[in-house]
Homo-oligomer: A and B are copies of this chain.
Amino acid sequence: MMLIPAFTFRMSLLCVFWVFCALEPVCASRFFNLFSPDLSVQFNIQLTADGEIRYSVYADKKSLIKQGKMGFNLVGQGPLEKGFRWLSIDTSSVDERWEPQWGEERQLRKRCSRMVVHFEQTASGKRLDLECMVFNDGVGFRYHFPSSGRQEAFIVAEELTSFPLAGDHEAFWIPGDYDTNEYAYARTPLSQVHASQELWPHGIGFRSQISDSTVQTPLTMRTADGLWLSIHEAALVNYPAMQLDIDRGELILAAHLVPDAVGNKAYLRLGDRTPWRVLLIARRAPELLTNRIILHLNEDPAEGDFSWLKPGKYMGIWWEMHLGTRSWAGPRDEGDSLSLPHGATTGSMQRLIDFAAANGFTYLLAEGWNRGWEHGDGGWSERKFSFTEAYPDIDLPRISQYAQERGVGLMMHHETYGAVTDYERQLPAALDLMENLGYKGVKTGYVGRLVPRGEHHDGQWMVNHFLYQAQQTARRKFFLVSHESVRPTGLHRTYPNWFSSEAARGNEFNAWSAGNPPEHETILPFTRLLGGPMDYTPGIFPTHAAAGDSFALRRVHTTLCKQLALYVTLYSPLQMAAGNVEDYERHPGPFQFIREVPTDWDSTVVVDAVPGDYVFTARRQKDSADWYVGMITDELARKVTLRLDFLEPGRKYVARIYADAPDAHWQTRPMAYKITEQRVDARDALNIRLAPGGGCAISLRAAE
């Protein structure tokens, strides 16, 4: 062990070991190991006798990935799979601290071992580089296609990367789908994945399911040894999203890239890189929620000053439309009669601005302000919406002035219904309008089948569209929140104005489908949120009765206090207060937590968490000594002793506890809550009871 191979490389840190078998004369080495800084995680790379690249991952000396494949099939060219030889290896160690524009922590530390392995396919002369980073809590690797000048184009037919797992892990998964990720999660051993099975009535408008054994990432798993793993990707740029085909017998996961309209996967040029393939490793479940490898594998912003960017909370004209009491569609001409009253009008927006201003909300959204909604979803047609023409019952300049005078930032809404090329055509004028009226950001939507026709939401073209949108809005100093977009891969580090995306089953599903099961929000942080913030739109008070409604459960499947706790457990720099104003006015006690809870943090402590069961999270407000706690449970009641040892020692805090009432229950008494206040310090513990489908929110204001 620790022998030096016979060709050039740079060795720059002690914790990188080169394992060398002196069996062959020139390129003697058959495998190399790269260890994490604490030596607990090991990334092994080797060439088979056929010159195929294989990698393995070990943690704490246990095998996690065993002889995973690497390589590509290219369109019109031989496979980039066999016949490789080593050219050289560069290694280095990384230890750097960096500050995100906003986030769950003020400062992050990236500490890992890094290597770049340079391969050549002898017969074709093609080169392929593999870049690996090994952290104490996971690994990331990606491919480079080196260029020597001219950026020759090529087409990826298939990526061959595979993840052969060491056991039949219990997995939290949603079905593989090219166009949507709005499924509820299933939890089965990998060998028992049946993705076409209706585990929970989905209520999804448009989907393109892949196969019975394909699932999406982040795919989070628990090994028999109690390790927690999650496979995802980082920095998804100019490439399709990766889904995973499961070989249920062999327990091998294989990369399944989302195809384009003609069945190809990615159009690249020499000089390009793929996204990172990432394996997150946690010894305890809560550690998975503070694993920051995906952020570390993304880049800092390429350019631009983002000091103008302000995390915050927003209200919106929104939930009443989902409930079906108001309509997105407005009148063609002023005074036209409508079957449902129009949601967004000058009057309704002014009332909401007044309320938002009085309660300290940063932003305000109005859906259904623009022409196009009256035509339904427009089938698969190209032009569906105008992004510059308001309905005649909305006076945009007047509302804009009204909002500015009251210190509320307006948030534009752009639902495309999938007509993306038309949207891009309208975008310059739409952004001009936003700039002229002083808007602060935009929420986009991509419901339905896409134009360009045949493209998928998670394919390369759309991945590039979302980034284009992030860049275009950044240039004009707008923030962006995207719905029905590809799931995030840590790009909010590089594009901080892209605050959040939906890209999962949000709270809205509770309005018009079987809704979300009570365990749903306990799984999201372990899966979807590993990639980045989610616009889940919490804060809906379960005041609606089920009577007389065609959906037996047309309301959130939580207690009121769980809705409050979600502001802490589901991280986003931009949180919606998604409920109706009338509910907030009627219940000022619990509404106080929504008013007060911040959305930007100095530090985060996951007190305890198990996906599918519960999540208890504490966060310290940015530039403040105040803490906020969110505790949520699944359909089971729980009694929890919450130790407050995350608080600053010796300091006194006023804890305001928003707890489920003893008889609270998400189905029968969701509105039953109790608010208490007490002085506490770091030595204290609180006894909290969570109702079935319940939660608890706590504010801890530093007393002095």
Contact = CB atoms under 8 A, between A and B. Distances in A.
Interface of A: 150-155, 260-262, 264, 267-269, 374-382, 421, 424-425, 428, 451-455, 461, 464, 468
Given A151-B375, A155-B379, A451-B461, 12 more contacts: A153-B376, A153-B377, A153-B378, A155-B380, A261-B452, A264-B380, A269-B381, A382-B461, A421-B461, A424-B425, A452-B453, A453-B461
A471 to B, nearest CB: 10
B153 A381 contact: yes
Contacts of A468: 425
A455 B450 CA distance: 13
26 contacts: A150-B374, A150-B375, A150-B376, A151-B375, A152-B376, A153-B375, A153-B379, A155-B380, A261-B262, A261-B453, A262-B453, A262-B454, A264-B380, A264-B453, A267-B380, A267-B381, A268-B381, A269-B375, A269-B381, A421-B421, A421-B461, A424-B424, A428-B428, A452-B454, A453-B455, A454-B454
Contacts of A376: 150, 152-153
A533 to B, nearest CB: 26
A377 B269 CA distance: 12
A264 B452 CA distance: 13
A27 to B, nearest CB: 32
Please provide the 8 A-B residue pairs with the shortest distance between their CB atoms, ordered closest to farther: A153-B379, A452-B452, A261-B454, A261-B261, A267-B381, A153-B381, A428-B428, A262-B454
A371 to B, nearest CB: 12
Contacts of A380: 153, 155, 264, 267
Nearest to A449: B262
A425 B424 CA distance: 7
Contacts of A262: 261, 453-454
A467 B425 CA distance: 13
A151 B451 CA distance: 19
Contacts of A268: 381
Contacts of A155: 379-380
Given A268-B381, A381-B268, A382-B267, A421 B151 contact: no
A468 to B, nearest CB: 6
Contacts of A425: 424, 468
Contacts of A461: 382, 421, 451-453
Nearest to A76: B379
Contacts of A451: 461
Contacts of A424: 421, 424-425
A381 to B, nearest CB: 4
Q: Counting chain B CB atoms within 10 Å of each CB, which of A262, A374, A421, A455 scores highest?
A: A421
A72 to B, nearest CB: 15
Contacts of A379: 152-155, 267, 269
A374 B453 CA distance: 31
Contacts of A381: 153, 267-269
Contacts of A382: 267, 461, 464
A476 to B, nearest CB: 13
Contacts of A269: 375, 378-379, 381
A154 B261 CA distance: 21
A376 B453 CA distance: 27
A260 to B, nearest CB: 5
A113 to B, nearest CB: 34
A151 B372 CA distance: 10
B374 A421 contact: no
Contacts of A267: 379-382
A179 to B, nearest CB: 13
A641 B150 CA distance: 59
Nearest to A380: B267
A461 B455 CA distance: 14
A254 to B, nearest CB: 24
Contacts of A261: 261-262, 452-455
A260 B455 CA distance: 12
Nearest to A272: B381
A280 to B, nearest CB: 31
A455 B464 CA distance: 18
A41 to B, nearest CB: 36
A149 to B, nearest CB: 9
A573 B260 CA distance: 41
